[in-house]
Chain A
Amino acid sequence: MSDAAENDTADQGIPAPEGASEIIETDYEIGQDNFEAQIGPFGLDVHNPVFGISGVVVVAFVFYTLALPEQAGSIFSWLFSFATKTFDWFFLGAANIFVIFCLVLIVSPLGSVRLGGAEASPDYGYAGWFAMLFAAGMGIGLMFFGVLEPVYHMAVSAPLGVPSPFDADGNLIPENVEAAKAMGLAATIFHWGLHPWAIYAVMALALALFSYNKGLPLTVRSAFYPLLGERVWGWWGHIIDILAVFATLFGLATSLGFGAQQVNAGLNHVFGMPINSTMQVVIITFITAIALVSVVRGLDGGVKVLSEINMVLAAALLVFVLLVGPTLLIFQDFLGGLWAYIVDLVPLSNPIGREDTDFVQGWTSFYWAWWISWSPFVGMFIARVSRGRTVREFITCVLIIPSLVCVLWMAVFGGVAIDQVLSDPAGSLVKANVIDSYNPPLSLFAMLEALPMSSITSVLAVVLVIVFFVTSSDSGSLVIDTITAGGKVDAPVPQRVFWACFEGAVAIVLLLSAGGLSSLQSMVISTGLPFTLVLLVMCVAIWRGLQAERRL
């Protein structure tokens, strides 16, 4: 127990007296299972067996997919349809539980518990904190899906059976327009709003609570201490951590795959470079190389700086589209979409008895699996930068504010795109690339093309995707390295370099395999499935942990 800072530590560089918190007493010492070695010139300090098993499996996976792309491709597509068709209710139901759990924590007395002890103070200001939340949380996704999704849900996927505003020949049906437009935005906001951020919040809260308040190592297994006791340091814990590594790696690779395709499409659009897998391999390699520089510069010098650059660039693009687009209409869309989201939230998140199976299985299940599978990544990142905030402040900031920003982003990019599609169906590039032929990576550039100064904004968009890409790869390596080093945050830097390289390699081999991007998506779904179970159990552990903290 360390309930008050002693006088002799007060003036020695310690942030502040930290106050009461309930340290869990365990005989486990961080790093006791670690394997330290000097391989050639490089030092190594990794958890045994978590690093070994996950490292070997990832390397084997890369070689298998490279050697037998056809066979691997067919396995991936079978996995995708099996997991989404059989377990769609499970993903939807679990995500609803996470949202309700978070909302209950905000209003319950447990919300007053402070992460890092009763008197801990935050290390980062709000601006830097939010920048990192976003850049890590969904950067590339916002760029990739911002135009694609609202238009697609409005016209093609028919969520909740709302009919498309176009008939089979592409003619506009005026009486369908209003409802379809609102549903297009509402369904998109649904996928980027409360649910994903609730998933992140659960993970982040578990890591922060058990590490900063209970003194356990910063890995996923620590959250299970209240339930498993000392057994978390054995195979139960190894399995949980290995699952977390896989989920993170494949969740990240999916984002990197999306990013690579979009950068490729953008370079083709602006400079006429070819679109093919060779180009994408070159892009991933090039961007991974930039990420390595950032990895070596560390948390404050790399990720934090990059995510602040991201925020400025993204805000510039957002304001530009908002001003040159139909501004008044966008604000109407923002409010209309938000309202439709609130009205349709319950039917959209209903896990059973749905008629719109294509939408539920192809989109919602995939999204929930994607968010869940990279929750260890975003969660650990949020946890590391959230010390000193109360649970209530933490959940409000992680749940409500990012959701609102996503609503705004989708309303601006999606609203402008929808307006282009509806006002000029024949001439709209967005309609050509989303509705007539499905060409996701190009959708953003198609929307920008119809606005003034498109050559400048397209270049800005390509740069933005690249910087988001670098940030994800960098912070992902940081997180995977911490988990595979048994919760040590000061393991040798070459290990992070190893993970950054293999994230790139996994993204490359999955893109090269027969299924391309759908291989990535099926791996995300398959790793997300077991991890959903991990997260559900985690909610119970968090509740118990917070109660113990309150009793002090």
Chain B
Amino acid sequence: MFTRIMVPVDLTHVDRLAKALNVAGDLAAHYGAQLVYVGVTAATPSAIAHTPEEYGERLADFAKAQGLAAGVTAGAHPVITHDPAVDLDPALVKAVAETGADLVVMASHIPGIADHFWPSNGGTIAARAKVSVMVVR
């Protein structure tokens, strides 16, 4: 059914992603699919890493650990943008094509009134990506 599952992750808030990560791992094991973890960051230092390549290493480590836990092969796909707060959605949509994923599994918050002004990432990706998107709340 699916061969490659893309999982957008925010390494600063891994605790909030537990449910989506589990779902992605189970699906990957079920369909025998590969997991690709996508992280978006800026070139400036962040809480996760001092430099872009350090961020890449962190994401690769994270992917390796997740893959071991789920028992499937997992890779990392770091994306560097100039303005992550704004570029996040387009960067993720682009990453779907770059990774060749056929399913996106991502966590999202419960929609509220503010989503009419600032739509949620999950909602936007589901609207724009050409592949199936599973939004885990």
> Interface of A with B (CB < 8 Å)?
2, 5-6, 8-9, 12-15, 17-18, 21, 23, 29-32, 40-42, 116-117, 123, 211-212, 214-218, 296-301, 384, 387, 487-494
Are B86's CB and A5's CB within 8 A? no
Contacts of B53 in A (CB 8 A): 2, 5-6, 9, 14, 17-18
Q: Known A2-B53, A9-B53, A41-B114; judge A489-B83 contact (CB<8 A).
A: yes
From A9, A117, A488, give the contact of B56 (CB < 8 A): A9
From B41, B57, B87, give the contact of A298 (CB < 8 A): B87
The reply on B3 being an interface residue by CB < 8 A is no
Contacts of A216 in B (CB 8 A): 45
Contacts of B54 in A (CB 8 A): 2, 215
> Can you list 21 A-B pairs, Cβ within 8 angstroms, ordered by A?
A6-B57, A9-B53, A15-B52, A18-B53, A23-B50, A30-B46, A41-B117, A123-B43, A212-B44, A214-B50, A218-B45, A296-B86, A297-B86, A298-B86, A300-B83, A301-B86, A384-B82, A387-B43, A489-B83, A489-B84, A490-B85
From A212, A214, A487, give the contact of B43 (CB < 8 A): A212
Min CB distance B112 to A, Å, is 6
Q: Known A12-B78, A489-B44; judge A117-B51 contact (CB<8 A).
A: yes
From B56, B83, B86, B114, give the contact of A14 (CB < 8 A): B56
Q: Known A30-B47, A212-B44; judge A298-B83 contact (CB<8 A).
A: yes
The reply on B113 being an interface residue by CB < 8 A is yes
Per-residue 0/1 for B23-51: is the Cβ within 8 Å of any A Cβ (1 yes, 0 no)?
Answer: 00000000000000000011111110011
Extra pairs beyond A212-B51, A215-B54 (5, CB < 8 Å): A2-B50, A12-B77, A14-B56, A299-B83, A384-B44
A299 to B83, CA, bound (A): 6
Contacts of A214 in B (CB 8 A): 50
Are B76's CB and A487's CB within 8 A? no
A40 to B114, CA, bound (A): 9
The reply on B134 being an interface residue by CB < 8 A is no
Min CB distance A463 to B, Å, is 25
From A23, A40, A387, A491, give the contact of B85 (CB < 8 A): A491
Residue of A nearest to B43 (CB): A387
Contacts of A123 in B (CB 8 A): 43, 82
Min CB distance A61 to B, Å, is 27
From B51, B57, B83, B114, give the contact of A23 (CB < 8 A): B51
The reply on B5 being an interface residue by CB < 8 A is no
Are B60's CB and A8's CB within 8 A? yes
A121 to B124, CA, bound (A): 32
Q: Known A2-B50, A12-B76; judge A211-B57 contact (CB<8 A).
A: no
Among B53, B54, B117, chain A packs the most CB atoms within 10 A around the CB of B53
Q: Known A12-B56, A30-B47; judge A300-B42 contact (CB<8 A).
A: no
Min CB distance A252 to B, Å, is 19
Contacts of A488 in B (CB 8 A): 46-47
Are A299's CB and B45's CB within 8 A? no
Min CB distance B80 to A, Å, is 6
Contacts of A387 in B (CB 8 A): 43
Min CB distance B12 to A, Å, is 7
Are A14's CB and B52's CB within 8 A? yes
Contacts of A491 in B (CB 8 A): 85
Residue of A nearest to B95 (CB): A13
A510 to B4, CA, bound (A): 58
Min CB distance A165 to B, Å, is 50
Are B51's CB and A9's CB within 8 A? no
Min CB distance B68 to A, Å, is 15
Min CB distance B41 to A, Å, is 8
A216 to B47, CA, bound (A): 10
Residue of A nearest to B52 (CB): A14
Contacts of A493 in B (CB 8 A): 85-86, 118
A167 to B96, CA, bound (A): 74
Contacts of B77 in A (CB 8 A): 12-13
Min CB distance B51 to A, Å, is 6
The reply on B98 being an interface residue by CB < 8 A is yes
Are B57's CB and A492's CB within 8 A? no
Min CB distance A482 to B, Å, is 9
The reply on B105 being an interface residue by CB < 8 A is no
Are A29's CB and B78's CB within 8 A? no
Residue of B nearest to A17 (CB): B53
Min CB distance A16 to B, Å, is 9
Q: Known A8-B60, A9-B57, A41-B113; judge A490-B51 contact (CB<8 A).
A: no
Contacts of A29 in B (CB 8 A): 47
Residue of B nearest to A301 (CB): B86
Min CB distance A218 to B, Å, is 5
Residue of A nearest to B84 (CB): A490
The reply on B79 being an interface residue by CB < 8 A is yes
Contacts of B51 in A (CB 8 A): 2, 18, 21, 23, 117, 212, 215
A30 to B48, CA, bound (A): 8
A298 to B117, CA, bound (A): 15
A2 to B117, CA, bound (A): 40
Min CB distance A292 to B, Å, is 11
Q: Known A9-B57, A41-B112, A493-B85; judge A116-B47 contact (CB<8 A).
A: no
Min CB distance B120 to A, Å, is 11
Q: Known A18-B53, A215-B45; judge A13-B78 contact (CB<8 A).
A: yes
Among B83, B84, B117, chain A packs the most CB atoms within 10 A around the CB of B83
Contacts of B87 in A (CB 8 A): 298-300
Contacts of A211 in B (CB 8 A): 44-45
Interface residues in B79-120 by Cβ distance below 8 A to A read: 79-87, 98, 112-114, 117-118
Residue of A nearest to B58 (CB): A9
Residue of B nearest to A216 (CB): B45
